[in-house]
Amino acid sequence: MRPVSKFADKVPYQLLRPIAQGGMGCVYEALQEGSDGFRKRVAIKIIRQEYSQLPLFRKNFIGEAQLVADLIHANIVQTYHLGHAHNQYYMVMEYVRGVNLEQFMLQHRALDKVLPWDLAAFVISRLSRALACAHDHCDANGKHLGIVHRDVSPKNIMLGESGDVKLTDFGIAKAFNLMYSKEGEIIAGRSDYLSPEQAHLEVTDPRADLFSCGVVLAEMLTGYNPFVGATPEESRDNICSMPLSDFEELLPKDGAKLKPILYKCLEREREKRYQSAKDLMVDLEKLLYAKGYGPTNEKLALYLKELYADGQAYVDDMSELPVSMALNPDKDE
To the query of whether residue 151 is one of the catalytic residues in this protein, the response is: yes
Distance of alpha carbon 108 from alpha carbon 111, whole angstroms: 5
- Pairwise CA distance, residues 117 & 139, whole Å: 37
What whole-number distance in Å separates Cα of residue 49 and Cα of residue 30? Answer: 19
- Distance, CA of 93 to CA of 41 (rounded, Å): 10
Q: CB of 223 within 8 A of CB of 107?
A: no
CA atoms of 217 and 200, how far apart (whole Å):
22
- Catalytic-role residue among 118, 151, 169, 192: 151
Please say whether the beta carbons of 277 and 128 come within 8 A.
yes
Q: How far apart are CA 147 and CA 69, in angstroms?
A: 13
Dihedral through CA 259, CA 156, CA 192, CA 321, nearest 10? -150
Q: Which residues are catalytic?
A: 151
